[in-house]
Chains A and B, each alone.
Chain A
């Protein structure tokens, strides 16, 4: 059974870099033809898609975060990583990873079919 587990620092200082890792079990990133997405839920602002990455490293990014975000994949560890630079209080959120749509399929049919429980990251001043 597919499971995703996020791990993060819990607390990050303002202007620093935030890093979150997602460990995948029950499926192989290397053997899977799906993208893997990152989403965050900020207090009072709902859900926001951060970006999605394929096993090859190909990425889609939310334009509003693109200048500060880097997604990466380590197929040998079956892990995904998210890095967000120059964080502010507005980046305080629960960060989720999820399995996304199939490569080669129309984006119209993409959806996030399995999610992790998320990890709360708080940005402090």
Chain B
């Protein structure tokens, strides 16, 4: 179902750096900006990165992201316990003419 591919899990100890990849195609990541969402059970999903590398106000600067060609990545530097959540990449798909999401990556803080 998901158009964008992410690793199912990633982990690190507090203070470590974790990077999550997101792979797509020319009709989505290759043509549009990428957004990253954080999902915690029972809470409203939250955008942590928009327009490929922009942080909304209130999102810590330990969250950063980049995009190259048909792939994108999210990096959490200085991992903290509150970062334990599921992360989804997303972008617009020109063929679908709508939003598409990644398969999701569960980040665990060891």
Docked-complex contact A117 and B42, CB < 8 angstroms: yes
Docked-complex contact B37 and A112, CB < 8 angstroms: yes
Docked-complex contact B92 and A110, CB < 8 angstroms: yes
* Bound: A75/B67 CA distance, A: 38
Docked-complex contact B99 and A110, CB < 8 angstroms: yes
Which A residues between 41 and 95 are near B, CB-CB below 8 angstroms? 41, 45-49, 51-52, 60-63
Docked-complex contact B50 and A111, CB < 8 angstroms: yes
Q: Is B70 an interface residue (CB 8 A)?
A: no
Docked-complex contact B92 and A48, CB < 8 angstroms: no
Q: Tell which of B11-19, B76-84, B100-108 binds the partner.
A: B100-108
* 0 or 1 for each of B18-36: is its CB under 8 Å from A? (1 = yes): 0000000000000111010
Docked-complex contact B101 and A61, CB < 8 angstroms: no
* 0 or 1 for each of B26-66: is its CB under 8 Å from A? (1 = yes): 00000111010101001111110011000010000000000
